[in-house]
């Protein structure tokens, strides 16, 4: 009875002591990052000295070398490369589009455009009347009108969706499959409204995928202002347009995932992975997408070493080679994890920008979620809570070989992400230092808690 009573009273006390110890360690990491953090300076280097990093470009190869050199300087137990083949898409020239006729009257109004990533060149100037449709439903209804036309899809964001990733999810299918859906009915080109939330006219590129059964027609995204004006016009009257693009593929390129590792002291065979992707589109500096995730990853490593933290589990810090147009970096990481029979317990990706962190999202069972959510009071002082639904394109494949792996992600505030995502405006100047560093704080805190207490 006395022992039972003792146990009864001691358990909460022990738990409280653990919470206090966690709270102290998280505060130490936070202070280290907010005071001495290198993420912002590293991001300046990556964006300003290296620049845009499309897979296959010399910049992307330099970025991997830069990542390896910088992570080595933090002196983890090891740093290694994982060579992988990536697509090598080339924009090939300056994309062009213009309105050249309005109701039969000639005009010349240049449009702000970018060819969609993976799309092929137009082989010269394509000129045709516009068929403007709101969505795939209208395309299907009007399929008999498509032949010989340039189809415009009004893939504008729904502004009432508070989480902009939901608006992106809904509009994204027009970028990905719009070209082949229109080609099926004889379209000669496709234009879409940029997948953007910005009140500006910067066009946003991004990956599309051709249906191999259809003609591979050229496809561009229009700047938001031009897109809205074109749609308003083309819904009512005949608009004739020109477009010219130059996309083509070189043979696959040799790139590398860069992996740093801290060896676990208690469970070295159990791996926790965090990462972001090194590659970006060609038209910007890839500052938020995904320079932020890259430097978040490096900052957490730096901080753990600076505080001489010795993890119980092995922690991997991964800069993935290729996410944007092929996902070959994540695929290679998973392929090797499977080959080497590695046991991953949790992976976290940061690929939603360097904005103020709002949540750590975790894809797991309801019981596991309830367990992780007991950590929310420890994260809340730094701005986040644990929510459901995390993942990422680079770590997602891991669940394909081992369903028990928990995938998670840093969820920053989403309001500004699609203002700059895949547009020329995704540059270092649009990243805020404190917001970026706070992201690293919350990732470090969550990974520390996973390392200390496991995934239940």
Task: Please give the residue ranges that form the binding site for its own copies (CB under 8 A).
Answer: 30-31, 34-35, 40, 159-160, 162, 164, 197-199, 356, 381-383, 413, 415-416, 419, 432-435, 438
Give the residue with the Cβ less far from its own copies, 104 or 199. 199
* Shortest Cβ 386–its own copies spacing (Å): 15
Joined together, the tokens standing for residue 202 give 């910067």
The nearer residue to its own copies, 31 or 266, going by C-beta atoms, is 31
For residues 64 and 55, give the distance between their C-alpha atoms in angstroms, rounded to a whole number.
11
CB of 138 to its own copies, least distance (A): 21
Please identify, using beta-carbon distances, which residue of 186 and 383 lies nearer to its own copies.
383
In DSSP notation, 265-328 reads: SSEEEEEEEEEEE----TTS--IIIIIHHHHHHHHHHHHHHHTT---SEEEEEEEES--TTS-H
Indicate the burial class of 267 (C-beta count within 10 angstroms; 0-12, 13-18, 19 or more). Answer: middle
**Two tokens at 327?**
């996902």
Judged by beta carbon, residue 48 or residue 434, the one nearer its own copies is: 434
Nearer to its own copies, 95 or 419 (CB): 419
Cβ distance to its own copies smaller for residue 224 or 330: 224
Q: CB of residue 158 vs its own copies: minimum separation in angstroms?
A: 9
Q: Is the peptide bond before 307 cis (omega within 30 degrees of 0)?
A: no
- Residue 161 CB, shortest distance to its own copies, in Å, is 8
Residues in the chain: 456
Residues sharing a CB contact under 8 Å with residue 114, sequence separation 6 or more, in sequence order? 95, 194, 203, 204, 205, 220, 221, 283
Report how far residue 106's alpha carbon sits from residue 148's, in angstroms, rounded to the nearest whole number. Answer: 19
- Kindly state the smallest distance separating residue 198's Cβ from its own copies, in Å: 8
Least separation in angstroms between residue 94's CB and its own copies is: 27
């Amino acid at each position: 009875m006395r022992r039972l009573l003792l146990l009864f009273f001691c358990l909460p006390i022990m738990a409280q002591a653990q919470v206090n110890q966690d709270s102290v360690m998280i505060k130490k990491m936070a202070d280290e990052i907010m005071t001495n953090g290198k993420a912002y300076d590293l991001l300046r280097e990556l964006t300003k000295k290296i620049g845009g990093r499309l897979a296959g470009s010399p910049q992307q190869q330099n970025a991997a070398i830069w990542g390896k050199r910088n992570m080595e300087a933090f002196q983890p137990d090891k740093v290694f490369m994982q060579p992988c083949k990536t697509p090598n898409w080339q924009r090939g020239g300056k994309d062009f589009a213009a309105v050249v006729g309005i109701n039969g009257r000639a005009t010349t109004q240049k449009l702000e455009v970018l060819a969609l990533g993976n799309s092929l060149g137009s082989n010269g100037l394509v000129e045709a009347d516009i068929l403007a449709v709101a969505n795939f439903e209208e395309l299907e209804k009007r399929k008999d009108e498509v032949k010989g036309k340039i189809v415009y899809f009004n893939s504008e964001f729904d502004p009432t969706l508070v989480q902009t990733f939901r608006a992106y999810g809904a509009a994204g299918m027009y970028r990905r499959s719009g070209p082949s859906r229109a080609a099926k009915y004889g379209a000669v080109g496709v234009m879409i409204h940029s997948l953007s939330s910005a009140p500006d006219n910067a066009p946003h590129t991004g990956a599309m995928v051709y249906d191999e059964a259809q003609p591979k027609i050229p496809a561009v995204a229009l700047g938001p202002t031009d897109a809205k004006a074109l749609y308003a016009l083309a819904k009512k009257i005949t608009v004739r347009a020109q477009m010219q693009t130059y996309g083509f593929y070189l043979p696959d390129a040799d790139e590398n995932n860069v992996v740093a590792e801290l060896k676990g002291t208690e469970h070295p065979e159990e791996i926790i992975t965090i990462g972001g992707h090194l590659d970006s589109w060609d038209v910007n500096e890839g500052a938020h997408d995904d320079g932020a995730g890259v430097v978040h990853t490096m900052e957490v490593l730096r901080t753990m070493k600076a505080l001489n933290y010795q993890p119980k589990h092995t922690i991997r810090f991964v800069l993935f080679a290729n996410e944007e147009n092929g996902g070959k970096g994540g695929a290679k990481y998973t392929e090797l994890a499977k080959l080497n029979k590695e046991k991953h317990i949790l992976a976290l990706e940061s690929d939603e920008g360097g904005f103020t962190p709002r949540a750590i999202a975790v894809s797991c069972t309801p019981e596991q979620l309830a367990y992780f959510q007991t950590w929310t009071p420890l994260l809340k002082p730094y701005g986040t809570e644990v929510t459901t639904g995390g993942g990422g394109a680079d770590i997602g494949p891991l669940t394909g070989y081992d369903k028990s792996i928990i995938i998670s992600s840093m969820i920053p505030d989403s309001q500004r992400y699609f203002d700059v995502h895949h547009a020329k405006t995704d540059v270092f100047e649009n990243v805020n230092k404190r917001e970026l560093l706070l992201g690293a704080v919350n990732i470090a805190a969550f990974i520390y808690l996973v390392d200390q207490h496991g995934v239940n």
